[in-house]
Amino acid sequence: EVQLVESGGGLVKPGGSLRLSCAASGFTFSSYSMNWVRQAPGKGLEWVSSISGDSIYIYYADSVKGRFTISRDNAKNSVYLEMYSLRAEDTAFYYCTRVVKPAAYWFHPWGQGTPVTVSS
């Protein structure tokens, strides 16, 4: 069974940093692109970042470009999101997702999410 388990969320002050992790299991991790999608409280879904299986292709939403860094460790079956210079508007539930098939950026499955709150 494919599983994605996020961790690392929490409360951080504006301007602070946080590192989210996503542990994957149940599939050949290196074959699939991985993604982060977030959802602010009471709002819709926002794509944040994607990374290809070999880490060659990396994409960011304009809202996080220059502040967030996505990476992966295929030996550890994990993907990470390092978040810097956090702002109140980064407050959201952050979901780790796989693509449904290699290089097709449809999100399936999803982890349970980890909450990030940016507040003083």
Partner 1 sequence: EIVLTQSPATLSLSPGERATLSCRASESVDIYLAWYQQKLGQAPRLLIYDGSTTATGISARFSGSGSGTDFTLTISSLEPEDFAVYYCQQRRKWPLTFGGGTKVEIK
What does the binding site for partner 1 look like in residue numbers (CB under 8 A)?
37, 44-47, 50, 59, 61-62, 95, 100, 104-113
Residue 104, SS3 per DSSP: strand
Residue 47: CB minimum distance to partner 1, A: 4
Residue 21: CB minimum distance to partner 1, A: 17
Nearest CB to partner 1, comparing residues 76 and 108: 108
In angstroms, the first-to-last Cα distance of the chain is 40
Residue 29, SS3 per DSSP: helix
Residue 35: CB minimum distance to partner 1, A: 8
Q: What is the CB neighbour count within 10 angstroms for residue 47?
A: 17
